């Protein structure tokens, strides 16, 4: 038996013992609404936001809408006092629909059309991120209305998603970019960075903050007002992640050298949204192919599990109904419903024999998954439900 299969056997038994959701409640939701069903947990959104805010007490949160652009999530976070990180006009429309004022928003997309800048300004967002001369020049027409942050690139091979591959200037470029903006009469008030999403340790954040601090000191003629540390805060998928309080301790220490006049911002997406949604699916077909049983579910990597492709995530997935403890566990494959063979969720699963109609639950699916779901094969995107812990838990 392979190591992965042995690990899954243990995980399977632990999952059956540990609970965390109530099978009867999930069965009832499936009967009422059908599957696939994307369940967003209001209480978890709040507790993730509060845990991160507690772990970084000096930092103001700007939720990265892209992770899970959902009106209930936006309204809940607004009610809790969270601000928002905008990247597109569509995200601005979502904030408007949720009556979010522009005060605590930042436009963090380093590349924009002129019409995007106008759209954000009409909404009232005045802080923008740039990382090159061409982008700075787009603000000449709006120089009296805007304040810029320069995004710095800190490559990070340890991140699951290295966001500095595509955006950010090298640290040494910052003085030239600031000088260029100033020569055009545009105000630069700070810097931003993103050390990559789902990072295993806080060391990249700590190093980046230290370098930004040295940069601020080396340019005392600039009235620095903002340090925006992006996201990166990790969550558990199939393996453990560092506890958030422990993760943030060295970050707080690194931030402590910043003068109090500097506004410290973070743009968490994954940490808030990821653990806050579960995806309930049904087995719609079953076939024995060689040594493995293939289970075809009513959603897969083209749908609300799309993060397995785009976000390199591997979600914990388990049957909802408990099986007898002595039921044999068999090598199995979980596949999505579309006609494409890339639509395989897990090829190396061990599962008890499941009937067609069995319910399967994927957890930790809130970030970058429903957000990038497609309707390939004209399967509709899964229905979402906004629930509290009581509605799904034991």
Question: Are the beta carbons of 208 and 229 closer than 8 angstroms?
Answer: yes
- C-alpha dihedral sign at 318, 322, 326, 330: negative
Which secondary-structure segment (H or E) carries 242? none
Q: Where are the alpha helices (DSSP H) in the chain?
A: 3-18, 23-33, 42-55, 71-80, 89-97, 114-123, 133-137, 174-183, 203-218, 244-255, 270-273, 307-310, 389-392
Q: Whose Cβ is closer to ligand PLP: residue 266's or residue 360's? A: 266
Task: For 62, list phi and psi in degrees, rounded to 5.
Answer: -125, 100
Beta carbons within 8 Å of 72's beta carbon, 6+ residues apart? 40, 42, 386
Question: Given candidates 83, 232, 275, 337, which one binds ligand PLP under the rule CB under 6 A?
Answer: 232
Q: Whose Cβ is closer to ligand PLP: residue 161's or residue 350's? A: 161
Contacts with ligand PLP, 270-289, as mask; x by CB under 6 A: xx------------------
- Looking at 24-32, 175-183, 261-269, 291-299, which segment touches ligand PLP (CB under 6 A)? 261-269
Q: Whose Cβ is closer to ligand PLP: residue 69's or residue 269's? A: 269
**On the CB side of 287, how many CA atoms lie within 13 Å of its CA?**
6
* Burial of residue 362 (number of CB atoms within 10 Å: 0-12, 13-18, 19+): buried
Question: Are the beta carbons of 263 and 255 closer than 8 angstroms?
Answer: no
Known catalytic residue at 339: yes
Question: Given candidates 44, 52, 85, 205, which one binds ligand PLP under the rule CB under 6 A?
Answer: 85
Q: Total binding residues for ligand PLP by CB under 6 A?
A: 18
**On the CB side of 181, how many CA atoms lie within 13 Å of its CA?**
28
The alpha carbons of the chain give a radius of gyration, in whole angstroms, of 23
CB of 342 to ligand PLP, least distance (A): 23
Q: Does residue 163 interact with ligand PLP by CB under 6 A?
A: yes
In Å, how far from its chain's centre is CA 119? Answer: 25
- Looking at 116-124, 203-211, 225-233, 246-254, which segment touches ligand PLP (CB under 6 A)? 225-233
In residues, how long is the chain?
394
Q: Does residue 65 interact with ligand PLP by CB under 6 A?
A: no
Give me the residues paired with residue 114 across strands: none
Contacts with ligand PLP, 106-135, as mask; x by CB under 6 A: --x---------------------------
Q: Does residue 205 interact with ligand PLP by CB under 6 A?
A: no
CB of 233 to ligand PLP, least distance (A): 6
Question: Given candidates 29, 39, 59, 64, which one binds ligand PLP under the rule CB under 6 A?
Answer: 64
CB of 269 to ligand PLP, least distance (A): 3
CB of 192 to ligand PLP, least distance (A): 7
Question: Given candidates 197, 276, 282, 364, which one binds ligand PLP under the rule CB under 6 A?
Answer: 197
Q: Does residue 241 interact with ligand PLP by CB under 6 A?
A: no
CB of 202 to ligand PLP, least distance (A): 13
Question: Are the beta carbons of 41 and 85 closer than 8 angstroms?
Answer: no
CB of 318 to ligand PLP, least distance (A): 25
DSSP string of 28-94, one letter each residue: HHHHHH-SSEEEEEHHHHHHHHHHHHHHSTT-EEEEEGGG---HHHHHHHHHHT-EEEE-SHHHHHH
Q: Whose Cβ is closer to ligand PLP: residue 269's or residue 300's? A: 269
CB of 194 to ligand PLP, least distance (A): 5
**What single DSSP character describes residue 239?**
S
Q: Does residue 267 interact with ligand PLP by CB under 6 A?
A: yes
So which residues are the catalytic ones?
A: 339
Site of interaction with ligand PLP (CB under 6 A): 64, 66-67, 85, 108, 163, 194, 197, 230-233, 267-271, 367
């Amino acid at each position: 038996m392979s190591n992965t299969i042995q690990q899954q056997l243990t995980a399977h038994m632990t999952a059956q013992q540990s609970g965390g959701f109530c099978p009867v409640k999930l069965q009832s939701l499936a009967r009422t609404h059908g599957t696939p069903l994307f369940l967003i947990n209001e209480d978890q959104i709040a507790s993730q936001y509060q845990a991160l805010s507690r772990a970084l007490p000096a930092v103001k949160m700007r939720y990265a809408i892209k992770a899970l652009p959902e009106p209930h999530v936006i309204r809940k976070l607004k009610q809790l006092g969270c601000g928002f990180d905008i990247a597109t006009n569509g995200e601005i429309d979502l904030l408007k629909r949720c009556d979010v004022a522009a005060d605590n928003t930042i436009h963090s997309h380093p590349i924009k059309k002129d019409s995007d800048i106008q759209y954000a300004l009409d909404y009232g967002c005045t802080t923008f991120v740039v990382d090159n001369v061409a982008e700075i020049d787009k603000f000449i027409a709006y120089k009296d209305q805007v304040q810029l942050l320069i995004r710095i690139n800190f490559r990070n091979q340890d991140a699951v998603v290295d966001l500095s591959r595509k955006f950010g200037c090298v640290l040494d470029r910052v003085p030239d970019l600031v000088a260029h903006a100033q020569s055009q009469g545009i105000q630069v008030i700070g810097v931003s960075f993103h050390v990559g999403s789902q990072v295993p340790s806080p060391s990249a954040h700590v190093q980046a903050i230290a370098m930004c601090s040295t940069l601020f000191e080396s340019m005392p003629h600039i009235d620095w007002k903002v340090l925006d540390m992006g996201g990166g805060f990790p969550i558990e998928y199939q393996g453990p992640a560092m506890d958030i309080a422990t993760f943030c301790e060295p970050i707080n220490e690194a931030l402590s050298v910043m003068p109090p006049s500097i506004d410290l911002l973070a743009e968490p997406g994954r940490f808030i949204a990821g653990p806050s949604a579960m995806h309930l699916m049904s087995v719609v077909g079953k076939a024995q192919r060689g040594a493995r049983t293939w289970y075809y579910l009513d959603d897969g990597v083209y749908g609300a599990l799309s993060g397995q492709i785009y976000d390199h995530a591997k979600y914990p997935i388990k049957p909802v109904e408990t099986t007898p403890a002595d039921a044999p566990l068999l090598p199995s494959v979980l596949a999505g419903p579309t006609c494409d063979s890339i639509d395989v969720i897990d090829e190396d699963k061990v599962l008890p024999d499941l009937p067609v109609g069995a319910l399967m639950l994927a957890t930790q699916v809130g970030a970058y998954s429903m957000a990038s779901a497609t309707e390939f094969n004209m399967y509709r995107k899964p229905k979402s439900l906004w629930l509290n812990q009581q509605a799904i838990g034991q």
